[in-house]
Amino acid sequence: MKIYNSMTNKKEPFVPMQAGHIKMYVCGPTVYNFIHIGNARPFVVFDTLRRYLEYKGNEVEYVQNFTDVDDKIINQSLKEGIPASEVSEKYIEEYFRDSDALNLKRATVYPKVTENIPEIIELVQGLIDKGFAYEVDGDVYYRTRKFTDYGKLSGQNIDDLESGARISVDERKSDPLDFALWKARKVEGEPAWESPWGMGRPGWHIECSAMANKYLGKTIDIHAGGQDLKFPHHENEIAQSEAFTGKPFSNYWMHNAYITIGKDQEKMSKSKGNFFTVRDILDKYTGEEVRLFLLSGHYRSPVNFSDELMLQTRNSLARIHNAVENLKHLIENGGGELTPEESKSLEGLEKYREKFEESMEDDLNTADAVTAVFELIRDVNTQIRSGSSGEYARGALDMLEELSGVLGLTLAGEDEGVDAEIQALVDERQTARKARNFARADEIRDILKEKGYAVEDTPQGPKIVKL
Share of the chain above pLDDT 90, in %: 75
**339 to 344, 389, 391, 394: CA distances (angstroms):** 9, 8, 9, 14
Q: What phi and psi values does residue 324 have, to the nearest 5 degrees?
A: -65, -45
pLDDT the model gives residue 419: 72
Residue 271 above 50 pLDDT?
A: yes
**Same-domain check for residues 234 and 314:** no
What's the predicted TM-score (pTM) here? 0.87
**Same-domain check for residues 252 and 382:** no
**Same-domain check for residues 333 and 193:** no
Q: Which domain holds residue 362?
A: 307-406
**Same-domain check for residues 190 and 324:** no
pLDDT the model gives residue 355: 98
Confidence of residue 458 (pLDDT cuts 50, 70, 90): low
Asked if residue 345 belongs to a domain, the reply is yes
CATH classification of the domain holding 364: 1.20.120.640
Share of the chain above pLDDT 70, in %: 94
Residue 352's nearest CA partner among 402, 426, 286, 310 is 402
Residue 26 above 50 pLDDT?
A: yes
Residue 122 above 90 pLDDT?
A: yes
pLDDT the model gives residue 415: 45
pLDDT the model gives residue 113: 98
Contact 63, 56 (CB under 8 A): no
pLDDT the model gives residue 206: 98
pLDDT the model gives residue 62: 98
Task: Tell whether the torsion through CA atoms of 115, 119, 123 and 129 is positive or negative.
Answer: positive
pLDDT the model gives residue 460: 54
CATH classification of the domain holding 229: 3.40.50.620
**Same-domain check for residues 354 and 391:** yes
Between 418 and 463, name the one with better pLDDT.
Answer: 463
**Same-domain check for residues 334 and 186:** no
Asked if residue 411 belongs to a domain, the reply is no
pLDDT digits (tens, 9 = 90+) for 294-337: 999 999 999 999 999 999 999 999 999 999 999 998 888 876 78
Asked if residue 205 belongs to a domain, the reply is yes
366-387 b/e (C-beta count within 10 Å ≥ 16 → b): beebbbbbeebbeebeebbeee
What's the rounded mean pLDDT across residues 42-49? 98
pLDDT the model gives residue 467: 67
pLDDT the model gives residue 388: 83
Asked if residue 290 belongs to a domain, the reply is no
pLDDT digits (tens, 9 = 90+) for 170-199: 778 999 999 999 999 988 889 999 999 999
pLDDT the model gives residue 164: 46
pLDDT the model gives residue 165: 38
Asked if residue 80 belongs to a domain, the reply is yes
Asked if residue 273 belongs to a domain, the reply is no
Contact 385, 436 (CB under 8 A): no
**Same-domain check for residues 209 and 115:** yes
Beta-carbon contacts of 186 under 8 Å, excluding residues fewer than 6 positions away, are none
**Same-domain check for residues 182 and 230:** yes
Beta-carbon contacts of 241 under 8 Å, excluding residues fewer than 6 positions away, are 209, 212, 213, 218, 249
Beta-carbon contacts of 199 under 8 Å, excluding residues fewer than 6 positions away, are 138, 184, 185, 192, 193
**Same-domain check for residues 442 and 398:** no
pLDDT the model gives residue 422: 84
Asked if residue 263 belongs to a domain, the reply is no
Question: In the listed set 256, 272, 290, which residue is the last one of a domain according to the structure?
Answer: 256
User: Half-sphere exposure (CA, 13 Å, Cβ side) for 352?
Assistant: 24
**Same-domain check for residues 317 and 455:** no
pLDDT digits (tens, 9 = 90+) for 239-261: 999 999 999 999 999 999 999 98
Residue 169 above 70 pLDDT?
A: no
pLDDT the model gives residue 414: 47
**Same-domain check for residues 252 and 316:** no
pLDDT the model gives residue 332: 85
What's the rounded mean pLDDT across residues 38-66? 98
Q: Name the domain count of the chain.
A: 3
Average pLDDT in the chain: 92
Asked if residue 293 belongs to a domain, the reply is no
Count other C-beta atoms under 10 Å from residue 321's C-beta.
Answer: 16
**Same-domain check for residues 322 and 221:** no
Contact 3, 364 (CB under 8 A): yes
Lowest-pLDDT range of 23-37, 116-130, 264-278, 385-399 = 264-278
